[in-house]
Amino acid sequence: MAVKVAIDAGHGGFDNGAVYNGRREKDDNLEIALELGRILQNNGIEVAYTRTDDRYDSPVQKAQLANATGADYLVSIHRNAAYAPNTYSGVQTLVYDNSGVRKELAEAINNELEDIGFNNINVETRKDLGILRRSNMPAVLVEVGFIDNDYDNSVLDASVTRTAQAIADGILDVVGKQAVPASAVGVRKADSGSLAVEGNAVSDSDGQNAEDGLVRNNYESRQEGSVRTGKNPMPETNSTVDGVKPADMAYSVGKKQDRDDREYKLQMGLFRVFRYAKDLERELAGQGYDTDLEKEGEFFVVYVEGFNSLDEASKAEKELKRKGYDNFVVEIKD
31 included as an active-site residue: no
Spell 110-149 as b/e; 16+ CB within 10 A means b: bebbeebbbbbbebeebebbbbbbbbebbbbbbbbbbbbb
Beta bridge partners of 80: 146
Looking at 25, 35, 46, 143, which residue is catalytic? 143
Strands 251-252 and 291-296: unpaired
CB distance 13 to 239 below 8 Å: no
The answer for residues whose C-beta is within 8 angstroms of residue 140's C-beta and 6 or more apart is 74, 75, 76, 93, 94, 95, 102, 105, 106, 109, 132
The answer for residues whose C-beta is within 8 angstroms of residue 4's C-beta and 6 or more apart is 45, 46, 47, 48, 69, 70, 71, 72, 73
| CA–CA gap between residue 108 and residue 254 (Å, rounded) | 52
Helix (H/G/I), strand (E/B), else coil: 198? coil
The answer for residues whose C-beta is within 8 angstroms of residue 33's C-beta and 6 or more apart is 7, 8, 9, 49, 77
Q: Give the residue numbers marked as catalytic.
A: 143
